[in-house]
Homo-oligomer: A and B are copies of this chain.
């Protein structure tokens, strides 16, 4: 029962960003490690027939409003990025490269990527920006840039995304705890309840 909670997200997902601000304190309260798992949600959308929220009538307008409201509620810096959404390939590959070397540093990098996109409107789909963000954390920019172009890390991101879809992941954020899936930032309380009660 001490397996990590898996936290699936896409770096371009506002609800993924909001969940990233709360998930580690949940881990501390429950004594569970949190495994951060960035994926390409566009691939999951293809598998599930979904569209990005902003592309959907009614739901798009609701979502934009709800993101502002969610940010205010958390006291989180936020402005709607432009362009949006983006394919965060370089930063996602860089995360997995880092995660195999230093999970804490990889999480710090993930937090910095979310902040760069949702607070500073930086182009996280650009390899140069992926390297700059790493540089701010003392990560060697040349090594990170090389990893982004390396077929090994391209394949890793693809494999993690496919494995997530095979587990039933279709949105961001998505949590897997002891085989039980919970979709959405607003399900964090139920994730915590599931862990503390041992299910129901």
Contacts and interface: CB of A to CB of B under 8 A. Distances in A.
Range, interface on chain A = 20 to 34
Nearest to A185: B186
A81 to B, nearest CB: 22
A49 B57 contact: yes
Contacts of A73: 190, 200
B190 A186 contact: yes
Interface string A16-59: 00000000000000000000000000001001111100001111
Interface of A: 44, 47-51, 56-59, 61-62, 65-66, 69, 72-73, 165, 168-171, 180-181, 183-184, 186-187, 189-190, 200
